[in-house]
Amino acid sequence: MTVTETPTKHGLDRIGGDPTMLSDPPAARQLVEQLIVTVAAWKGGVGKTELAKELAWLLDAVLIDFDWDHGNATRAWGYRHEARTNAPLIDAVLNGRTPRPLSGGAARPDLVPCHPDWVHNQPESEQLAAQIQRWSAEWRRPIVLDTHPGGGEATYAAIGVANVILVPVLLETRPLEALEGMVEELRGYPIMIVPNMIAAAPANMVKWLSRISETYQVPVTSTVGAYSWLGQRQLRMAVSARTPIPARSRTYVDEVKTIAAEAIEFALRNQKEESR
Ligand SMILES: Nc1ncnc2c1ncn2[C@@H]1O[C@H](COP(=O)(O)OP(=O)(O)OP(=O)(O)O)[C@@H](O)[C@H]1O
Ligand SMILES: [Mg+2]
């Protein structure tokens, strides 16, 4: 099978510029240039990185990786800091410069890679937030930020600048507890909950999730299924970058596209409310 680049003229073409997915395509096109989506969760292993890299590809966004641990998006992308002499993210932040994203070409999102030293080299969150906003204005492209589990300066910066904060959650006790703590702490932020790895939906867990959503007024996106092949994948490329999309991945790609559209709709709604 040959893998070819999906021609991209705009950051909405890959989610299917289908007007039925978006209520106001012209407004969405305008918004998406300055869109910042942060994927964060107080719980580890809930699917932040998988979602971030697919969304970044689908939106033709710059993926900025704030997670310094191995197993991060940077590593999955194929970037090895050991083979490099610089650390683009740290260099940019320390020198007050805008990083130049690495090109992902036909298969991966463009990337600002992380570095293990990021754990000790994060500026204070307000300063970093101002820098991200500058990068966004200069790039005129959407940004997807992937984060380390839990809080921390970089994560709070990423949360502070986001138009949409996507919080993946599993329908299990500890992830739901972590979710509840997070949305309670971050009241008033534009959070959407993303139920991930949903095979069965135990009624008590669904009820708990609904209660969290209602109590804190946080919307829940469509769900993402559980795909055992996803965790075993060794391909560097985004699943949604395959052309054609293999049969077994189609449902997953459709789910992620739907979530991309829901996130844009949410950001648009918030923008319209703010300008009222
Ligand atoms: N919908 C899904 N179905 C099946 N497996 C999934 C799904 N989403 C993520 N995974 C798998 O679950 C594991 C954890 O996912 P991922 O690395 O994206 O989580 P994370 O929240 O970024 O973790 P960390 O907190 O360590 O950064 C990975 O092996 C990933 O491939
Ligand atoms: Mg991760």
Q: Which atom of ligand 1 is nearest to the CA of 252?
A: 1
Tokens of 79: 């970037």
Q: How far is the CA of 100 from the centre of ligand 2 (A)?
A: 22
Amino acid identity of 16? G
Q: Which atom of ligand 1 is nearest to the CA of 146?
A: 22
Pocket of ligand 1, candidates 38, 42, 49: which has the most ligand atoms within 8 Å of its Cβ, to mutate?
49
Q: Which residue's CA lies nearest to atom 31 of ligand 1?
A: 231
Residues near ligand 1 (Cβ within 6 A): 44-50, 67, 71, 149, 196-197, 224, 226-227, 230-231
The residue ranges of every structural domain in the chain are: 23-274
Task: Please tell me the CATH code under which domain 23-274 is placed.
Answer: 3.40.50.300
Which ligand neighbours the alpha carbon of 45 most closely? 1
Q: Which residue's CA lies nearest to atom 29 of ligand 1?
A: 231
Find out whether 146 and 46 touch, Cβ atoms under 8 Å. no
| pLDDT for the residue numbered 16 | 73
Q: How far is the CA of 258 from the centre of ligand 1 (A)?
A: 19
Q: How many other C-beta atoms can be found within 10 angstroms of the C-beta atom of residue 170? A: 21
Q: How far is the CA of 68 from the centre of ligand 2 (A)?
A: 9
Which ligand neighbours the alpha carbon of 47 most closely? 1
Q: Which residue's CA lies nearest to atom 25 of ligand 1?
A: 44
Q: Which atom of ligand 1 is nearest to the CA of 43?
A: 25
Tokens of 178: 């972590």
| pLDDT for the residue numbered 22 | 87
Q: Which residue's CA lies nearest to atom 18 of ligand 1?
A: 47
**pLDDT of the chain along its 276 residues, tens only?**
444 444 445 678 888 755 568 889 899 999 999 999 999 999 999 999 999 999 999 999 999 999 999 899 999 999 999 999 999 999 999 999 999 999 999 999 999 999 999 999 999 999 999 999 999 999 999 999 999 999 999 999 999 999 999 999 999 999 999 999 999 999 999 999 999 999 988 999 999 999 999 999 999 999 999 999 999 988 888 999 999 999 999 999 999 999 999 999 999 999 999 888
Q: How far is the CA of 48 from the centre of ligand 1 (A)?
A: 6
Q: How far is the CA of 102 from the centre of ligand 2 (A)?
A: 19
Q: How far is the CA of 44 from the centre of ligand 2 (A)?
A: 7
Which ligand neighbours the alpha carbon of 65 most closely? 2
DSSP secondary structure, the chain, as one string:
----PPP-SSTTGGGT--TTT-S-HHHHHHHHTT-EEEE--SSSSSSHHHHHHHHHHHTTPEEEE---STTSHHHHHT--GGG-S--HHHHHHHHT----PBP-TTTS-EEE---GGGGG-PPPHHHHHHHHHHHHHHHTS-EEEE--SS--HHHHHHHHH-SEEEEEE-SSHHHHHHHHHHHHHTTTS-EEEEE-SBSS--HHHHHHHHHHHHHTT--B----B--HHHHH----S-GGG-SSPPGGGHHHHHHHHHHHHHHHHHHHHHHHHHT-
